[in-house]
Amino acid sequence: MSENNNRNPRFIIESPTGDWEVVIGLEIHAQITSNSKLFSGSSASYGGEPMSHVSLVDAAMPGMLPVINKQCVRQAVKTGLGLQAEINKYSVFDRKNYFYPDLPQGYQISQFKHPIVGEGIVKVTLKDGSDIYVRIERLHLEQDAGKSFHDIDPQSTYIDLNRSGVALMEIVTKPDLRSAEEAKLFVTKLRTILRYLETCDGNMEEGSLRADINVSVRRPGDELGTRCEIKNVNSIKFIGMAIDYESKRQIDEIESGNEISQETRLFDISTGKTRSMRSKEEAHDYRYFPDPDLLPLNLSQDFIDEIVKELPELPDDKKDRLMEQYKLNSYDADILVSDKKYAKYFEVVAKGRDPKLSVNWISGELFSALNRLSLDIDQSPITADNLGELIDLIIDGTLSGRLAKDVFEIMLETQKSAKLIVNEQGMSQITDESSIEKLVDKIIDENSDKVAQAKEKPKMVGWFVGQVIKESQGKANPSKVNELVLKKIGL
Amino acid sequence: MIDVRVLDLSSIRDSLKKGDFTSKELVKSYIERIEGSSKLNTYNTTTFEQALDRAEISDGKIKKNEAGPLEGIPIGIKDLFCTQGVKTTASSKILENFIPSYESTVTENLFKSGMIMLGKLSNDEFAMGSSNETSANGAVVNPWRSRNSEKELVPGGSSGGSSAAVAASLCPLATATDTGGSIRQPAAFTGTVGLKPTYGRCSRWGIVAFASSLDQAGPITKTVRDSALALQAMAGYDNKDSTSANIEVENFENYRNSNLNGMSIGIPKEFEELDLSLDIRQNWEEAIQWYKEAGVNIKSINLPHCKYALPAYYIIAPAEASSNLARYDGVKYGKRVPGEDLDSLYKRTRAEGFGDEVKRRILMGTYVLSAGYYDAYYLKAQKVRRLIHEDFLEAFKTVDAILTPTTPTTAFGIGENISDPLKMYSNDILTVPVNLAGLPAISIPSGLDSSGLPMGIQLITNHFDEKSLFKFGRLIEESRVNIEMPTDWWIKK
């Protein structure tokens, strides 16, 4: 039995007619981070006035020729290495022929038979903490098309070629995903890897990462069912919605006695449904053939070795190291590696400090503050060094947990260091016994009736502690207060 | 006025240097001759005013000793080379009003060396044809006619405007392109020298593409020496063309100091079995004799796969063309015939914009690349191509050059073959293998046939050995009977 028709599926859709399993494969189009386009010198940056990033090559003027951008090749190889994939030293650019106004050449330059990157693998950790391994079938380089605007004028379509020729990596998985959740987690993980590698910024709202989703359903253990391809879905949320809708649609069709016909479908974000775009019969014959304007790519081992040297620590390795070095649990480590900037921030904070306390402050106070302010961690008003100093003041007893939160808020507003705030505003904790004793005596005197009650019900002690701390404006050290209250009441 | 009929590139170069005449006088003389030669229909577009302005600048440079190697010499440009600010049509209706904002690398190289463009020369539409009858601008007429005949003949193709213009002395040098014989065949039909350099020798950047893996630019001139001079100015590595060869351009004119004694020439057996006209066969034998007398060893060689060259070529070239010509869709530039929707815009634009031969090749190319046919046609043709390439490499282990006729017949009449594509395609039978192998080859006038029409001999050498083409080619010029110029029968008085 192949691993593709396992009788113990990970995820089941139950139905009165029996169990169903969903099988999903993805084709991710990731825009390569590069200054210029795949085969021309014009800018590959997002936005810009329409038609402002268009060279003669991008506009397919007569006699214009493509020249490969080495940086894009380097990025594709780097990505391949990050996906633990085979790098093909020999690869070929092919022309994929079809007519469309935003495809000025009348063909897209892509890689068909000989992609630059072969099989690889991505580990994805599911919500329950278990890991699945998603196999990558290939990664190839290709050009993006331009953009058509059908809504500017009722009579005409307008075309912007800024995106025409921008370099994409198409990353194709094997049909190894079994639920919308798995697909979403996979894309999230892939995006994290691409961002670690700095080969794609992963900004889905700018179209830097888009997915074609192949969905089929089957009875557990059966052969693969007929698939439908949902084109060009551009957010992780929509990927999940499209899969959920499409798998349910296919199950309904089959259960109503119909067959699934292989087709290309579109996901409509306004209705949350997929609809047919073209059937297999209407599919294009792309007439792929090697682009005679370009020589095959031949990569030297030296070229690949150089890139290996540049590889950063990747999320899986970083997680292992953080767990090992800082004794973090898997949950905390996952949070920190989900963005390499988090891990970097953490490692500054945790240097010489309690790692658990450091994670808690980062994933708790800091993340909620940044979220509230809509800031990225590298724009944080509180630097990692300053957060570390705040934690130092907690550890040495200068600040109670509560005081620390107040200081944190002031740090957020003023960007001052914790020590400076504590000094300026006299916010340090009162630990000196005689001062606390005075406060305790005052509260006990004022509440002699409650003292008797407390002797009966020792839980009342907490009320006294609270009153004392309140009297101290939060500065009294809670454990000292507790100690003295017990002593004075005589418990 | 200067009698430009007696001039060639190298004599002009010397005369301008010596001050026998100025560039401006020369340009004026060519303009006058071109204006009197409209009957031949060689030029699609003329740029006379520009040329006269440029001539003045060149004269200044010559005076100040700042002249480029070909300073002040007029040139005709095949209308397949994009020329900045000057209409470039590929002789197609679909590009009838296209004015490039850029200059092709080859024309830029020529202009940098000081040359002055007189205008754009007609060709078969998108360089598809062997008679220059498929030009949207109408057929070009060969300045040569059979003895005692007024029948108008084709100048060959696709560079028929270029070959006719050089033969009629409407420019001393014309650029041309050769995908399956489009420089050599028209040169043979017009008594001119046509050089197809090694694939990758001249940049393809800015040349309207026909079949990218075969297209190569080269010169049509009156003499072998001029061919060397012209190649010197045209060739060179270009990082804008990924298939351009990063190989030093040697001094081609040096060929003149060499001796052929002890070198060897191969005669391919398979070519002897082809259907060649009697005159051409005799001329070939004569040429072999000239080399023997010069002490060259003549060897019989085998190119066993060349018999499949023509079918392989007529699969590969149309396949590439079908894709290369997809950009002419009425959307961005060139002709647009509006339609009620996108599909009808495409269909009408391309139906009206392309001529029959271009459509035929787009259809063939689309067919051979289609799912289910790709392996049987395109892939197989590529395999044949590799075998032909290997045949030649094997041959060059034992010979320095290969000698064949350029064409199976001499120039035919306008309209004679146009309705029989297969017959037309068979014109390329001797030239096509060279393109498939990416080799350099030259066609040199080698005599007149019994009706007085020029014949051409083709020399083929190994990759990037153009110098040997000139070295061997010179002997043909020295040995052949004197070829008179065509009479000026077409000149309007």
Answer yes or no: do A270 and A161 share one domain.
yes
Chain A residues in contact with B104 (beta carbon < 8 A)? 63
Q: Which residue of B has its CA nearest to A104?
A: B327
Nearest to A62 among B95, B213, B240 (CB): B95
Task: Give me the percent of chain A exceeding a pLDDT of 70.
Answer: 99
Instruction: Report the CATH number at residue A447.
Output: 1.10.10.410
* pLDDT band per the 50, 70, 90 thresholds, residue A7: low
- Quote the CA–CA distance of B42 and B137 in Å, as a whole number: 9
| Nearest C-alpha neighbor of B396 from the set B286, B302, B295 | B302
Q: What is the pLDDT of residues A238-295, one digit of tens each?
A: 999 999 999 999 999 999 999 999 999 999 999 999 999 988 878 889 999 999 999 9
Whether residue A421 is found in the same domain as residue A440: no
- Asked if residue A207 and residue A73 are part of one domain, the reply reads yes
Q: What is the mean pLDDT of residues A30-56?
A: 94
Q: Residues A163, A244: one domain? A: yes
B101 vs A: CB within 8 A: yes
**B250-302 per-position pLDDT tens digit:** 899 888 777 899 999 999 999 999 999 999 999 999 999 999 999 999 999 99
Question: Are the CB atoms for A60 and A108 separated by under 8 Å?
Answer: no
Residue A342 to residue B233: CA distance in whole angstroms: 60
The bridge status of strand A297-298 relative to strand A90-91 is antiparallel
Integer Cα distance of B125 and B418 in angstroms: 13
pLDDT digit string, tens, across residues A303-333: 999 999 999 999 999 999 999 999 999 999 9
- What is the C-alpha to C-alpha distance for residues B427 and B181, in angstroms, rounded to an integer? 9
Instruction: Provide, as residue numbers in chain B, all residues whose Cβ is less than 8 Å from the Cβ of A99.
Output: 326, 329, 346
Is the domain of A214 the same as that of A81? Answer: yes
Say if residue A338 is in the same domain as residue A379: yes
Whether the bond into B158 is cis, omega within 30 of 0: yes
Q: Among A267, A288, A307, give the residue marking a domain's end.
A: A307
**CA-wise closest residue to B281 among B437, B403, B150:** B403
Chain A neighbors of B329, CB-CB under 8 A: 99, 101, 106
Query: In the structure encoding, which two tokens stand for residue A93, read together?
Result: 């650019």
If phi > 0 it is left, if psi is from -120 to 50 it is alpha, else beta; for residue B216 that is beta
Report the C-alpha gap between B485 and B4 in whole angstroms.
Answer: 12
| pLDDT tier at A6, thresholds 50, 70, 90 | low
pLDDT above 60 for A5: no
Taking only the tens place, the pLDDT of each residue in B338-370 is 999 999 999 999 999 999 999 999 999 999 999
Q: How far apart are CA B350 and CA B328, in angstroms?
A: 7
Among A396, A395, A409, smallest CA distance to A366 is for A409
Amino acid at position B288, single letter: I
> Cα–Cα–Cα angle for B122, B128, B132, nearest 5°?
40
pLDDT bracket for residue A2 (50, 70, 90): very low
- Within 8 A of A285 by CB-CB distance, chain B residues are 370-371
Given this model, what pLDDT does residue A155 score? Answer: 85
* A181-196: pLDDT as tens digits: 999 999 999 999 999 9
Residues A75, A199, single domain; the answer is yes
- In sequence order, the 6+-apart residues with CB closer than 8 A to the CB of A16 are none
Q: Is B329–A101 a contact, with Cβ atoms under 8 angstroms apart?
A: yes
Could you say which of A62, A66, A67 has the minimum Cβ distance to residue B98? A62
Q: Which of A291, A307, A323 is the last residue of a domain?
A: A307
Q: How far is CA A282 from CA A211, A259, A279, B347, in A?
A: 22, 18, 5, 19
Nearest to B27 by CA among B116, B122, B121: B116
Report DSSP letters for B120-134, one per residue. Answer: EE--SGGG--SSS-S
B366 touches chain A (CB under 8 A): yes
B220 touches chain A (CB under 8 A): no
Distance of alpha carbon A358 from alpha carbon B395, whole angstroms: 76
Residue A131 and residue A82 share a domain: yes
If you write DSSP's letter for every residue of A389-456 in order, what string do you get? HHHHHHHTTSS-HHHHHHHHHHHHHH---HHHHHHHHT---B--HHHHHHHHHHHHHHTHHHHHHHHH
Range 210-229 of A in CB contact (< 8 A) with B: none
Residue A475 scores a pLDDT above 90:
no
The last residue of one of the domains, among A241, A274, A307, is: A307
Asked if pLDDT for residue A161 goes beyond 80, the answer is yes
In Å, how far are B170, B264, B303, B403, B405 from B272, measured between CA atoms?
36, 18, 11, 11, 10
In chain B the domains, ranked by start, together with CATH numbers, are: 4-262+398-479 (3.90.1300.10), 307-370 (no CATH)
Rounded to an integer, the average pLDDT of B221-248 is: 97
Q: Which domain holds residue A394?
A: 313-425
Closest to B377 (Cα-Cα) out of B422, B435, B319, B310: B319
Q: Is A4's pLDDT higher than 60?
A: no
A424 to each of A118, A473, B353, how far by Cα in Å? Answer: 61, 16, 82
- Pairing between β-strand B116-121 and β-strand B74-78 as defined by DSSP bridges: parallel
A97 touches chain B (CB under 8 A): yes
Please say if the pLDDT value at position A135 is more than 80.
yes
B380: chain A residues, CB-CB within 8 Å:
none
Q: What angle do CA A407, A409, A412 make, to 5 degrees?
A: 110
Q: What is the mean pLDDT of chain A?
A: 92
Tokens of B293: 């007398």
Q: Is A325 in the same domain as A263?
A: no
Does the CB of B342 have a partner CB in chain A at under 8 Å? yes
The answer to whether residue A295 neighbours chain B at the CB level (below 8 Å) is yes
Measured between CA atoms, the residue of chain A closest to residue B322 is: A97
The answer, for A107 touching chain B at a CB cutoff of 8 Å, is yes
Do A125 and A206 lie in one domain? The reply is yes
Domain count, chain A: 3
In the predicted model, is pLDDT for residue A429 greater than 80? Answer: no
Phi, psi of B121 (to 5 degrees): -95, 140
Q: What is the pLDDT of residues B129-145, one digit of tens each?
A: 999 999 999 999 999 99
Catalytic residues of B: 78, 158, 182
> Does residue A168 carry a pLDDT above 90?
yes
Parallel/antiparallel/unpaired status of strands A107-110 and A147-149: unpaired
B270/B268 Cα distance (integer angstroms): 5
Specify the DSSP class assigned to residue B207.
Answer: B
Interchain contact, B241 vs A65, CB within 8 Å: yes
Residue A165 carries which side chain, given as an amino acid letter? G
Q: Which of A99, A105, A292 sits opposite B320 (nearest CB)?
A: A292
pLDDT, tens digit (0-9, with 9 covering 90-100), for A383-423: 999 999 999 999 888 888 888 998 999 999 999 999 999 88
Distance of residue B297 Cα from the nearest chain A Cα, in angstroms:
38
A369/A485 same-domain check: no
Give yes or no: residues A278 and A343 share one domain: no
Q: Residue A291 and residue B479: Cα distance in Å, rounded?
A: 44
The answer to whether residue A381 scores a pLDDT higher than 80 is yes
What proportions of chain A, in percent to the nearest 5, are helix, strand and coil? 40, 20, 40
Which of A63, A99, A289 is nearest residue B208 as measured by Cβ atoms? Answer: A63
